[in-house]
Amino acid sequence: MQVGFIGLGAMGIGMATNLAKAKLLAGVYNRTASKAQALATELNVTAYTDIATLAADMDVLLSCVSADSDVLEVIKLIATTAKTGAIVIDMSTVSSETAKQAASLLQAKGIAFLDAPVSGGVEGAINGSLSIMVGGEASIVETVRPVLEAMSSRIIHVGEVGSGQATKAVNQVMCAGINQAVTEALMFAAAQNLPMEKVLAAVAGGAAGNWFLDKRGSTMTNGTFAPGFKLALHHKDLHICQTMAAQAGISIPLSDMTVIAYQQLMADGFGDEDISALYRLKNPKR
Ligand code: NAP
């Protein structure tokens, strides 16, 4: 099985590397070609300079790019040359609607599609411990299970195409609330002049412990916000969640206030920082 990977960003580099370690990766493509060349040399795979040529050579194509329009752009190029019977797995976070559009563009050419967004951060991508939420046909999921297993510790087949992205939207609403809670609580700790590393150690071991606190608590309180997960990307995800909530007739106020906060941070030039940069707004001494 020839596997190709498109999109070597913060997530894609770790995911592609784990595919190579499992001896599954044949080729990579990245829009900024130098990144593909560097990783291909390191992993001893082929660097492709265009998506259509990569797609023609592969049985399975994975993509992890930024937003809805990027996914559709990539899918249209794949559709021009991919083999009948090829399988495309999009691991970006986009809307269910985009996943359905991608599936129908590819179906017309006899190419199968899974939406398979991930959670677990850059650390999960590097360690091969991502949680993958998959939408699409069960038989296709089984065919590519070894590919997914190379990158993850948990694969949940949710249902039909689009259901992986809908589940990821649930995850993103939850992350907004966690970000609000953790940044606010740590600013509160700072305001009490408590020894932060001791607070982090104590809280992490109890009922309030969580992934975000473990991975970003120390860095955010030290004023470091390297991505991680760019807040402009979470902002894009929360827009999708807001649309879904409106369609369902429910409100998601924690997400709404997070969108407003991210807009302010993006306007201040912090859109490429990790989502923990929300701490900047919570900290009155910023
Ligand atoms: P990133 O570091 O910004 O990387 C984005 C990648 O997509 C880059 O390789 C970029 O190429 C490529 N790209 C963007 N638009 C493209 C286009 N139109 N055509 C071809 N390639 C394009 O983002 P990331 O953090 O890896 O996130 C990727 C996806 O995973 C996003 O949908 C994000 O929401 C999701 N996600 C991220 C995390 C996280 O913690 N970072 C966790 C879970 C899910 P260039 O190198 O040329 O810019």
The model's pLDDT over 92-126, given as tens digits with 9 standing for 90+, comes to: 999 999 999 999 999 999 999 999 999 999 999 99
Tokens standing for 163? 């259901």
Q: For ligand 1, pick from 54, 65, 69 the residue to mutate: most ligand atoms within 8 Å of CB.
A: 65
- Whole-number pLDDT of residue 283: 77
Task: Please count the other Cβ atoms lying within 10 Å of the Cβ belonging to residue 36.
Answer: 26
CATH of domain 3-160: 3.40.50.720
User: Per-residue pLDDT averaged across 214-232, rounded?
Assistant: 95
Distance CA 89, CA 182 (A): 33
Give tens-digit pLDDT for 19-73: 999 999 999 999 999 999 999 999 999 999 999 999 999 999 999 999 999 999 9
Q: Annotated catalytic residue: which of 21, 83, 100, 168?
A: 168
In this prediction, residues 136-147 reach a mean pLDDT of 98
Q: Looking at residues 225-248, what average pLDDT do you find?
A: 96
Q: What is the pLDDT of residue 286?
A: 56
Average pLDDT over residues 4-28: 98
Share of the chain above pLDDT 70, in %: 99
| 8 A C-beta contact, residue 151 and residue 128 | yes
Q: Which of 66, 122, 133 to mutate to test the pocket of ligand 1 (most atoms within 8 A of CB)?
A: 66
Instruction: Give the chain's mean pLDDT.
Output: 97
Q: Following DSSP, what letter does each residue of the chain receive, concatenated? A: --EEEE--SHHHHHHHHHHHHTT-EEEEE-SSHHHHHHHHHHHT-EEESSHHHHHHH-SEEEE--SSHHHHHHHHHHHHHHPPTT-EEEE-S---HHHHHHHHHHHHTTT-EEEE--EESHHHHHHHT-EEEEEES-HHHHHHHHHHHHTTEEEEEEEESTTHHHHHHHHHHHHHHHHHHHHHHHHHHHHHTT--HHHHHHHHHTSTT--HHHHHHHHHHHTT----SSBHHHHHHHHHHHHHHHHHHT---HHHHHHHHHHHHHHHTT-TTSBGGGHHHHH-TT-
Give the 3-state DSSP-derived string for 65-99, with helices as H, strands as E and coil as C: CCCHHHHHHHHHHHHHHCCCCCEEEECCCCCHHHH
Cα(12) to centroid of ligand 1, in Å? 7
Q: In whole angstroms, what is the distance from residue 85 CA to residue 91 CA?
A: 19
Q: 285 falls in which pLDDT band (50, 70, 90)? A: low
Domains of the chain by residue range: 3-160, 166-282
Does ligand 1 lie within 6 Å of residue 30's CB atom? yes
Atom of ligand 1 nearest to the CA of 11: 26
Q: Is the pTM of this model over 0.85?
A: yes
**pLDDT (0 to 100) of residue 227:** 81
CATH architecture designation of domain 166-282:
Orthogonal Bundle (1.10)
Confidence check: pLDDT of 156 > 80 = yes
Q: Which pLDDT score, from 0 to 100, does residue 53 have?
A: 98
**Residue 15 pLDDT class (50, 70, 90 cuts):** very high
